[in-house]
Amino acid sequence: MVAAMHYVDRRTGELVFEFARATARKVTLVAGLGGKKLIRQPMEKLANVWRARVKLPSGWCLYAFEVDGRIQPDRAVGQLRTEDGLRCSLAVIPAGIGSFMSGRPA
């Protein structure tokens, strides 16, 4: 079982994405902001959890995890498919949280 999730860190205003797979060698967060701008952010491994922290504008983003070269959605929250067939998940960012994405994980 692969546990993944995202949540808002109300202290910092960042959206935190987590992916738990101890055996993964490299995990990257791939996200499309409002269906427009694509970001690729390497995730940092802390114990057995990979984590990325980003500041995003309110609204929504489609995201997936690239795990050792293979794209997969966040199985903890469900998935959808884009027009080009990419399996991804949806994160909703509440108003008043964050300003814009940071360039690196904290």
Domain assignment present for 104: no
Domain assignment present for 98: no
Over residues 12-69, the pLDDT tens digits come to 888 899 998 889 999 999 988 765 667 899 999 998 899 999 887 778 888 999 999 9
Domain assignment present for 99: no
Q: What's the domain count of the chain?
A: 1
Are the C-beta atoms of residues 105 and 28 closer than 8 Å to each other?
Answer: no
Domain assignment present for 75: yes
CATH number at residue 82: 2.60.40.10
> Measured between alpha carbons, how far is 103 from 54 in angstroms, rounded to an integer?
8
The one-letter amino acid at 50: W
Are the C-beta atoms of residues 28 and 64 closer than 8 Å to each other?
Answer: no
Give 31's strand partners.
Answer: 39, 63
Over residues 83-102, the pLDDT tens digits come to 878 788 888 777 765 443 33
Domain assignment present for 71: yes
Domain assignment present for 24: yes
Query: Six-digit token pair at 46?
Result: 């802390």
- In the chain, the N- to C-terminal Cα span, in Å, equals 26
> Measured between alpha carbons, how far is 74 from 31 in angstroms, rounded to an integer?
12
Q: Domain range spanning residue 81?
A: 3-93
